[in-house]
Amino acid sequence: MHPDHEEIATGFVTAITTGDTEALRRLYAPDARIWHNGDGTEQTVEDNLRTLRWLARNLRDFRYEEIRRDPAAYGYVQRHVLRGRLPDGTAVEVPACLFVTVDGGRITRIEEYADSRATDALRAHAAARRAAREAQR
């Protein structure tokens, strides 16, 4: 893998798991797009940073394991398992694959394929938090 791409990939994982949105912002091109198979939508950088901040705040022992990366003409492919625990102790384990496009030393596009059933606990936690906020209004 291109040394710059390895550095970007490692920095990306570290920034996500530590909630370092400024490092993530530096890794992303300003007009980068992040697509997810679960909902078929593209996120802007700001939308994605909001999602990643939520993960860092809501998962304890948040980490990526079983990381495997391969070079690609456009950047790299990463397979991993996202792991952590929700505040109630529920274990989260999400196998995923990222196709990451890098141009000019920055991430311009990510296509993320995650096991959508494995995200059920995350979605339920988010829905419960939204419901609790609505009930307080």
Helix 45-58 vs helix 3-18: angle between axes, to the nearest 10 degrees?
Answer: 50
- Compute the C-alpha angle 97/107/100, nearest 5°: 20
Rounded alpha-carbon distances, angstroms, from residue 48 to 41, 71, 134, 135: 11, 24, 23, 27
Length reported for the chain: 137
Q: What digits encode the pLDDT tens for the residues 71-101?
A: 999 999 999 999 999 999 999 999 999 999 9
82 exposed, middle or buried (CB, 10 Å; 0-12, 13-18, 19+)?
buried
Residue with tokens 């000019």: 104
Q: What digits encode the pLDDT tens for the residues 29-88?
A: 999 999 999 888 999 999 999 988 888 889 999 999 999 999 999 999 999 999 999 999
CB 46 within 8 A of CB 40: no
Q: What digits encode the pLDDT tens for the residues 1-16?
A: 676 899 999 999 999 9
Closest to 48 measured CA to CA, from 83, 12, 80: 12
